[in-house]
Structures are given as structure tokens and as C-alpha cells.
């Protein structure tokens, strides 16, 4: 792969020229475009930051056994880090180019999304934190569209700014590199921060990944994050450009990030749903809406009526998630449904949530409401004390027994648990008797139109004819 990176005022333009065997075929999609651009503040950007940004934009499509060429060239520090972390050879190296070093008196950055965990992370980050939101724009020659909407996230950014936080929105078409549309690599949302690292004096970059995501509890068993690909690869590469990675909410469950959002002034900026038409108006049909609705009830004690819950949980996505074994982020689901049963009289309860409670078993309440303190190691030393103090305003540290409950967390699948298997059969039977609500006609038509436009665009690209605008 050759990376050609140019700047014209605020525009950073990237052109990707595949080499032999490229673009590689990742599991999550295919490369359908060869360019990407970002609109960043004018100012200096170290060549290593530019090249690393380009790599994070296109990484899954790069054959790492083939040398990567680039313009500009990189420092030997970044080339060595890419070789060690990714097994990748960066062929264009300038031995005279000094590596980028962390600025004196620097500040941390947050990769901001507007979701619950992201907003809670900002509330728990050091003073002076700068946030960066990557705003998806569609290239003029690309007719593909997506059901994901930007209005809520953009309103979240405005709310954050109104509350006195520093936030920068960076327009980019990088998500259109891929079919289906989306980030080619999960760390692509760090590119806006990297492109502003010099002009904004950044020395760290943070993500809002809570306990369940960081330690993989969401898939049914604990994984020591210190052995994760992120620590082995991404950490060294970011440090090579003078930016330390940090995950301030890694020790907090989604229950606690939801509590922060429910009670902190900044919480009014949070909405995890990416399909809602406005901030405060989630779609109430996607899996995120289902889980966040349960979380909001669990931390506030205010629940929708049983009929509303049953309708929402009959939607195709929530249905699929609750029938999965294990359920995604099952510890949180278990806590929420047991809080629901404790708060709501038996004759007024949602039918499906009672069945889910039987499936998930006991409520792991104690450690979900406390902070897993070993996660503070994922914060750079200079920021640890301040972050620890902020975290402890919301949660006491776990006891040694609770920490062992986290590290020993294992879900027994239905195939190995007779009671769970029986509960799963009852849940399946309920869903078979309660099909999804009928999709509104306007949404069905919209999906059909989007699908037709995408199929036409694919055919035209194959014929090398520009699609209609």
C-alpha cells in the first residue's frame, strides 16, 4: 500500500494505492474507495502523525507482509514501532526526522461519540481535556447512505460546548472507504485527535470503553486487558508519536457510567442511539436503545410501562440480542432485570423481562456498583491521581473478593446448564408467540430505496462510471 498524504489549508487528503495482494479482505467489509479526507484546524502536524492517521484509516486493507510506502516519510521511531507492533515495514524512513515527543504541559484528548459511556468518560477526565468528534460526511460522487443519523451526536457536541467543554468536530468521508459504510478499524476515531496533537498540545488520547468492553465481560468471560492486542500494538504506536493511550472508565461498569449520565450536569448531552432523529429522541427500536432504557431504569428507579417494554423488546434487534447465548453485556442485563423485578409489582411486570431474569440467573450487583481499581493502571501516571479522585466520587473501590468475582467471571452456556436451557426454551416460545411489531411503511420504503441506490452504485463503480449525485 502506498499512502499519499497532502495538506491544503485545513484539508488533509489521503490517497491509498493498493499493492500486490491488496486491498486485503477483512471480515467486516471491503474497500470500495481509494481516498479519504479530514477537515482539521490549520497548523503544524508531524509527519509521523499524518502517516499513523492514514494507517488507522485503511489498516484492515493493508497486507502487512508487503512494505508500506508513504509520502511523507516517517521517523525511525515510528518505523520501529510499526515493525514491532504490527509486523509492518514502513519503507520511507527519514533518519534525520526527529520523533514527535509529548509536549511539556500537554493535555489529554477524548475520542468523543456523544454516547453514554463517552459522555461519562468526559465527566471523569482531567481538567483541560479536549474532545474530538469525527463527523461523517458523504462524498459527492458516492450515493450510498446509511440508517445512522448525525443529528443527536451533533446536538451532543453543541451541548458539550455550551457547558464549557472544549470540543472539535472534524468532518471526514473516511467511513465511505468501506462497504458497508463504517470505520474500517475501531481505532479510526482517534484520527481527529492525532491530526490536532501538535496544534492543541496533546499528550494522551482516551476512549470511553467501560469495564464490560475493556475486559471482554460482554462476551461471557474475563480477559486480562494487559494481554490484549490494544496493549501489545496500539499502545506502542501511540507512544511512538508522543501520545499515551488511556481508558478512564475501564474500571466502571455500564451501570456506573449510566449513573454518571443520570446525575452529572453533562449527562444531558448523552444519547447512545445512532438512529434517533434528535438528542432526547432515541429510536427505541435498536439493541442500544433497549439496553440503555433498562440501564436508565436501574439507576433512576423510573421504568416504562410493561406494555412499552414488551413492544420495544419485540423489535428484531433487541429480540436477537436477548435470545443470544450469552446475551451481549449479560452482567448488565442481569442486574437491570433484577432491579426491575425489585421495583415493579408482579402483576404489573413485563412478560419478557421476567423470562430474561430466569435465563440470566442471579444479579451480580455488588461489583457492578463499585470500581475495579486495577483499571487505573490504564491511565498515564501523571493523570492517575486526578482520575482516581473523580472516579471515587461515583463509586467505592471493589473489595478483594469482588475483584476476584470480576477476574473469575465465566458464563455457563445453556448447553451446559439445564436451568438456563429450560429458561431459554421458554424465552424462545414467548418470542415465537409475539412476533416483531410491524415496521412503519415509510421505513420499509426507505430501506428499499437505500438498498436499490447502493446496488446501482456498486454496478456503476464496477463499470467505472460515476454514480448519479
- Spatial distance between the Cα atoms of 280 and 260, rounded to a whole number of angstroms: 17
Provide the angle, in degrees to the nearest 10, between the axes of the packed helices 418-433 and 351-360: 160
8 A C-beta contact, residue 56 and residue 187: yes
Instruction: Give the pLDDT confidence score for residue 464 in this predicted structure.
Output: 46
8 A C-beta contact, residue 269 and residue 159: yes
Instruction: Give the pLDDT confidence score for residue 443 in this predicted structure.
Output: 52
Helix (H) or strand (E) holding 132: strand 130-136
All three cell numbers of 154, joined, read 451533533
Q: How many Cβ atoms sit within 10 Å of the Cβ of residue 325?
A: 16
8 A C-beta contact, residue 52 and residue 78: yes
- Spatial distance between the Cα atoms of 354 and 360, rounded to a whole number of angstroms: 10
pLDDT tens for 185-226 read 889 999 999 999 999 999 999 999 999 999 999 999 999 998
The rounded Cα 346 to chain-centroid distance in angstroms is 37
Phi, psi of 309 (to 5 degrees): -60, -45
Residue 147: DSSP 8-state: S
Find, among 177, 210, 185, the residue nearest to 59 by Cα: 185
Instruction: Give the pLDDT confidence score for residue 231 in this predicted structure.
Output: 86
Please calculate the CA angle 286-115-282 and round it to the nearest 5 degrees: 40
- Spatial distance between the Cα atoms of 204 and 187, rounded to a whole number of angstroms: 14
Report cis status (omega within 30 of 0) of the bond before 72. Answer: yes
User: What is the DSSP track for 271-302?
Assistant: ---SS-SBTTB--S-SHHHHHHHHHHHHHH--
The alpha carbons of the chain give a radius of gyration, in whole angstroms, of 23
Instruction: Give the pLDDT confidence score for residue 468 in this predicted structure.
Output: 36
List per-block mean pLDDT (blocks of 10 residues) for the chain, which spans 469 residues. Answer: 96 96 84 96 96 96 96 98 96 98 97 98 96 95 89 96 97 96 92 98 97 94 89 92 97 98 97 94 95 96 97 96 95 95 96 96 87 95 97 96 94 90 97 86 53 55 42
Burial of 95 (0-12, 13-18, 19+ CB in 10 A): exposed
8 A C-beta contact, residue 192 and residue 171: no
All three cell numbers of 341, joined, read 423485578
8 A C-beta contact, residue 254 and residue 212: yes
Q: How many Cβ atoms sit within 10 Å of the Cβ of residue 323?
A: 14
pLDDT tens for 424-467 read 999 999 999 999 987 655 454 555 555 565 555 545 544 444 43
**Average per-residue pLDDT in the chain?**
92
CB proximity list for 36: less than 8 A, separation 6 or greater: 13, 14, 16, 57, 58, 172, 173, 174, 176, 177
Please calculate the CA angle 457-461-466 and round it to the nearest 5 degrees: 80
Collapse the DSSP code of 10 into the 3-class scheme (helix H, G, I; strand E, B; otherwise coil) and give the result.
coil
Instruction: Give the pLDDT confidence score for residue 462 in this predicted structure.
Output: 46
Instruction: Give the pLDDT confidence score for residue 453 in this predicted structure.
Output: 58
What are the respective helix, strand and coil percentages of the chain, to the nearest 5? Answer: 50, 15, 40
Amino acid at each position: 500500500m502506498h499512502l499519499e498524504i497532502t495538506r491544503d489549508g485545513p484539508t488533509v487528503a489521503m490517497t491509498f494505492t493498493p499493492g500486490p495482494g491488496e486491498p486485503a479482505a477483512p471480515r467486516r467489509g471491503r474497500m470500495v474507495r481509494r481516498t479519504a479526507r479530514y477537515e482539521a484546524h490549520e497548523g503544524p502536524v508531524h509527519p509521523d502523525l499524518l502517516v499513523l492517521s492514514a494507517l488507522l484509516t485503511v489498516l484492515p486493507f493493508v497486507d502487512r507482509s508487503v512494505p508500506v510506502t508513504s509520502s511523507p516519510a516517517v521517523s525511525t521511531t515510528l518505523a520501529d514501532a510499526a515493525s514491532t507492533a504490527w509486523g509492518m515495514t514502513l519503507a520511507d524512513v527519514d533518519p534525520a526526522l526527529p520523533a514527535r515527543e509529548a509536549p511539556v504541559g500537554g493535555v489529554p484528548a477524548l475520542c468523543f461519540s456523544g454516547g453514554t459511556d463517552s459522555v461519562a468518560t468526559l465527566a471523569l477526565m482531567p481538567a483541560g481535556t479536549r474532545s474530538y468528534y469525527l463527523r461523517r460526511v458523504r462524498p459527492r460522487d458516492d450515493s450510498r447512505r446509511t440508517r445512522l443519523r448525525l443529528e443527536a451526536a451533533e446536538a451532543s457536541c453543541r451541548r458539550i460546548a455550551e457547558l464549557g467543554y472544549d470540543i472539535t468536530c472534524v468532518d471526514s468521508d473516511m467511513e465511505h472507504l468501506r462497504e458497508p459504510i463504517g470505520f474500517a478499524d475501531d481505532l479510526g476515531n482517534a484520527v481527529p485527535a492525532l491530526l490536532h496533537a501538535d496544534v492543541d498540545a496533546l499528550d494522551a488520547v482516551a476512549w470511553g470503553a467501560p469495564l464490560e468492553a475493556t475486559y471482554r465481560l460482554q462476551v461471557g468471560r474475563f480477559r486480562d486487558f494487559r494481554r490484549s492486542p490494544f496493549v501489545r500494538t496500539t499502545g506502542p504506536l501511540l507512544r511512538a508519536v508522543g501520545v499515551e493511550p488511556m481508558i478512564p472508565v475501564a474500571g466502571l461498569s455500564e451501570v456506573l457510567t449510566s449513573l454518571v449520565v443520570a446525575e452529572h450536569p453533562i449527562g444531558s448531552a448523552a444519547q447512545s442511539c445512532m438512529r434517533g432523529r434528535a438528542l432526547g429522541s432515541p429510536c427505541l427500536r435498536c439493541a442500544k436503545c433497549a439496553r440503555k432504557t433498562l440501564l436508565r431504569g436501574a439507576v433512576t428507579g423510573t421504568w416504562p410501562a410493561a406494555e412499552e417494554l414488551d413492544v420495544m423488546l419485540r423489535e428484531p434487534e433487541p429480540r436477537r440480542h436477548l435470545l443470544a447465548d450469552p446475551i451481549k453485556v449479560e452482567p448488565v442485563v442481569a442486574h437491570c432485570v433484577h432491579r426491575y423485578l425489585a421495583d415493579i409489582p408482579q402483576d404489573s411486570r413485563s412478560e419478557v423481562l421476567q423470562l430474561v431474569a430466569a435465563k440470566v440467573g442471579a444479579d451480580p450487583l455488588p461489583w457492578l456498583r463499585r470500581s475495579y481499581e486495577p483499571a487505573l493502571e490504564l491511565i498515564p501516571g501523571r493523570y492517575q491521581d486526578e482520575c482516581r479522585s473523580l472516579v471515587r466520587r461515583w463509586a467505592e473501590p471493589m473489595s478483594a473478593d469482588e475483584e476476584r468475582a470480576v477476574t473469575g467471571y465465566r458464563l455457563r452456556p445453556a448447553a451446559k446448564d439445564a436451568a438456563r436451557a429450560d429458561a431459554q426454551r421458554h424465552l424462545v416460545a414467548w418470542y415465537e408467540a409475539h412476533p416483531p411489531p410491524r415496521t412503519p411503511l415509510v421505513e420499509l420504503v426507505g430501506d428499499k430505496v437505500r438498498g436499490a441506490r447502493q446496488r446501482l452504485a456498486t454496478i456503476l463503480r464496477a463499470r467505472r462510471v460515476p454514480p448519479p449525485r
